[in-house]
Structure 1
Amino acid sequence: MYRSNKDSGWSWVVCCGSFIAFLLETGIVKALRLLLPSLKEQFSTNTWVIGLIISLAPGFGAITSFSFGAEAITTAALPIYFDKFYDTSNGITHAGISISFMILPPLTQFLLDTYGWRGTLLILGGLNLHLVLCGALLRPLKISKIDYNHDSINDLSLKRTAFTSTTLVNKLKNLVQYMDPDLLKRSSFLNLLCMVTTSGYCFTGWVIYFVPHCEDLGFLPFKSALLATIGGVGYLAGTIVFPIAGRVLSAKTILYVSAVVMTLALATDSVMRVFNSYIGIMLSSFAVNIGFAVSFCCVFKELVVVVEEDKLSNAVNWIFVGYSIGSISSGFLSGWLYDRFGNYIKSFLFLSVVSALSVTPWLASGFKKAIKRSQRRDYSIIKDTDIKLNKK
């Protein structure tokens, strides 16, 4: 028998590795979007082409998260290493995104001015090699025999046979079974998946096109990068607010509030750009990233509740697949809207519309439950009335 080492010292080492993984994997997208004008000019192509290529950086890793993908793996690992302090570790991990917003935009701008876009890409690639070290920190914890169940054994066996079967058909069948498509039949999980997909669309659209949009309005590159840094401060504030709000409000309420904040901030951002207000854009950048941070943290907290522990790894993978679909779609569509209308205002306005749609499944589910409760109440009243009449 072994004692569980959850919430132990090594767990916090893994949490630091997850923090760095989020910092680097999200930061590379934030850094690449600073190269968008240079790459567009260098290759004489449309905005949506460069945006789509940049969005593939997080999108490809998320789509392949059933096999690899830094953010998906580290996110799935946190419940293994944490129990009592899971919310805290989740917040620390997502704080890596905010730190990347604060340090990588000015760093990338400096590298771009000094070494050009080729040298900048070379240095950013070297930074991302540190993800290997983050993966090396993930090692098995000693657990008690009570926690070691047959489901985990079958899951590992299925994963092994998915890639060692002799025929291609068997490989595909085993792989589909390993992906656990039954999760998609759960309405509670689909609601979370929809939330992440729409949030991924809005988040990636903001990350890729925010600075180019500011420069398009006439702001200097340094001031545009500073606005992105303010957004990073907002994301950090969101990771701090989330554990506090989680003690008072339910996960669904937090998701509703974060969706409203994101929608209003993105809509306000579009209005401020019409009036070319630097302070207004700064405030909307701060607010929308608070919404992003709270939304993503809350999704993963709720995921632990609605999905069993032995299915959590596949559930996280599906979540990142949904995120990648939204991310890649935003890289293409937001850039296409710019090429079509000649400015980013409509692109960001459409981001606010997509953000408003993020809670639609939750509202529809709640509306259906309210109708069922009303029908049961009416049936109970009719039944009681019939009983009283029969007695008379």
Structure 2
Amino acid sequence: MKSPDPETLGFRWIVLGASFLVRFLMFGTLFSVGVLYVEWLDEFQTSKGDTAWIGSLATGSSLLAGPVGSALISRIGTRKTAIIGGFVMSLGLFISSFATNIYVLFATYGIIAGCGGGIANLAAVVRLTDYFKRQRAFAMGVGSSGVGLGAFAFTIFQQYLLDAYGWRGCILIMSGVTLNICVAGFIMIHPRHHPEFIRIQSTDENRNHSSEDLSYPVKIDLHESNIPQNNENANSECSKRPENEFLIRRESSKAAQRKSISKDANRRKSSFFQKVMFRMKFTDQTIALWRDPVFLLLFTSDFLSWIVQFVPYVHLPERARLLGISPIRSAIIVSSMGFAGAVGKLFFGGICTFFQLNPLRTFTVAQILFGISTLMSPLCRTFEWLLLYGITFGFLSGSYALMMVIPADLLGQEKFSAAYGFLLAGEGIGVYLGPPIAGWITDSSSSYEASFYCAGAVLLASGLVLMLNPCVQKWKSR
């Protein structure tokens, strides 16, 4: 009997819920850093550019922690990796509550908490692939919606904690909240450990054992058998059987041991050569990928986009405060971005699926509108207009869901894994750089207008770059 299909297990929906919860807690905590950013400016009296590094390091580290997470998953498994990631993130937040300067926060909140969250996030994504095959696109969409919904919920929640307990108490409570990532990780068992799988595997093993027992020599006790005892030939054969059986088993054991040693040696040799060939192949694929003009076009656009995408989450609350808007209303603006982002991911993924729109063209139009809206954002000076900008920004940022499809469409499925890995690395670097650069521009110009004009120009450039794709495709085909 074959093991059941994981997509027939009702438990897969619980795993999907656990994966959603991991991203809800992890990204919700990091993407609501803007409300803490305002408090850190007042507490430490540091520049906007320097202080912005805290949130940038946290989110950037979560993206760049992918290789570490992959190594841990290969070494100890997905479930344990998720639990460790959640514990490390919680530990980083706990230590951050005792920070005496922003440099301590760089290490604790930015690197430790960020890397822990990134490791847990990767484990949550990988576990979904074990349970969902045909419904994988749907599962990924539901799981990734936790990013926006987490930002929506935790921005207001952390603002409430700040008003009640201060920033140190807020982070201390959040360290306890993020421990629930460990609980979610504990739930994410592998399909083969599901009781239904174990039951069927045990049945199969019992059947195999029973069939194997029939092939072994059997020692017969004449006093308990129904064989006539007056058969002298049978008695003589049965009296010799224990000795023959012992000799046969000893020779079989020696032969099996020699065969096992030979197999181990061959396995080590093949493993060594496989590793060498894999590394050579990986190197060739990497070189070929970076020589591909289409990939370079995608990487450039994605990198430019992610220089800006985290900027409003960090700087918009402070900009709203300078315009005389209350902290709770500033938190509502950032929350609206998170909620609109979740809606945008479902919208852009849905229209491309059901209306069969070209993902690259749809993404290009969204990126251009993305840039135009940010270029116009300095004109927004009231709560209502900033709220409208936040919703527009979040909704258009949801088009990023298409970047999980575009590389495979343009480069081929065989290059998708390597290409998407490099795109994530570029995004992490972009997140590292964007908010601090925006802060330094604000410090030098004494206004947020210049930084948001620059951010809009960069976003617009990321969309316009993609319009070169037809020309690049023609040049590549020559």
TM-score (norm 1): 0.77
Q: In structure 2, which of residues 320, 324, 330 is the aligned counterpart of residue 214 of structure 1?
A: 320
Moved over 6 A (4+): 173-176, 307-311
Alignment length (residue pairs): 348
Question: After the TM superposition, which of the residue ranges 73-82 and 355-364 deviates more from structure 2?
Answer: 73-82
Aligned partners of 2:293 and 2:476 also within 8 Å: no
Distance 2:431 2:157 in 1: 24
Amino acid at match of 2:166: G
1:87 aligns with 2:133: no
Alignment correspondent of 2:425 = 321
Question: After the TM superposition, which of the residue ranges 108-117 and 33-42 deviates more from structure 2?
Answer: 33-42
Alignment correspondent of 1:287 = 392
Distance 2:284 2:379 in 1: 43
Q: Aligned-pair distance for 1:112? A: 0.7
Alignment correspondent of 1:355 = 459
Aligned partners of 2:299 and 2:423 also within 8 Å: yes
Q: What secondary structure does 2:66 align onto?
A: coil
Distance 1:184 1:3 in 2: 41
Aligned partners of 2:33 and 2:55 also within 8 Å: yes
Q: Aligned-pair distance for 1:92? A: 1.3
Q: Aligned-pair distance for 1:330? A: 0.8
1:342 aligns with 2:446: yes
Gaps of 5+ in 1: 144-152, 163-172, 377-392
Q: What secondary structure does 2:303 align onto?
A: helix
Aligned partners of 1:269 and 1:285 also within 8 Å: no
Q: Aligned-pair distance for 1:304? A: 4.8
TM-score (norm 2): 0.65
Gaps of 5+ in 2: 70-117, 198-266
Q: Aligned-pair distance for 1:338? A: 1.3
Question: After the TM superposition, which of the residue ranges 192-201 and 97-106 deviates more from structure 2?
Answer: 192-201
Q: In structure 1, which of residues 129, 138, 145 is the aligned counterpart of residue 179 of structure 2?
A: 129
Aligned partners of 1:256 and 1:359 also within 8 Å: yes
Alignment correspondent of 2:382 = 277
Q: Aligned-pair distance for 1:25? A: 2.3
Alignment correspondent of 1:22 = 23
Amino acid at match of 2:51: I
Q: What secondary structure does 1:359 align onto?
A: helix
CA deviations on 1:282-328 (whole Å, 9 max, x unpaired) are: 2121111111112x211113345456767655544333212111101
Distance 1:82 1:297 in 2: 18
Q: What secondary structure does 1:58 align onto?
A: helix
Amino acid at match of 1:207: Y
Amino acid at match of 2:173: I
Alignment of 1:201-240 (within 5 A): 201-240=307-346
Aligned partners of 1:201 and 1:329 also within 8 Å: yes
Distance 1:179 1:117 in 2: 49
CA deviations on 1:123-154 (whole Å, 9 max, x unpaired) are: 122222223334444444469xxxxxxxxx99
Q: Aligned-pair distance for 1:334? A: 1.0
Alignment correspondent of 2:469 = 365
1:194 aligns with 2:300: yes
Alignment correspondent of 2:163 = 113
Question: After the TM superposition, which of the residue ranges 311-320 and 122-131 deviates more from structure 2?
Answer: 311-320
Aligned partners of 1:6 and 1:81 also within 8 Å: yes
Distance 1:364 1:255 in 2: 14
Q: Aligned-pair distance for 1:371? A: 6.6
Distance 1:100 1:285 in 2: 16
Aligned partners of 1:90 and 1:297 also within 8 Å: no
1:267 aligns with 2:371: no
Distance 1:40 1:105 in 2: 18
Overall identity of the aligned pairs, in %: 20
Aligned partners of 2:408 and 2:415 also within 8 Å: no
Q: Using a 3 Å threshold, how does the CA distance of structure 1 residues 194 and 6 change in structure 2: closer, same or farther?
A: farther
CA deviations on 1:190-238 (whole Å, 9 max, x unpaired) are: 4443343233222211111111111111111111111122223321321
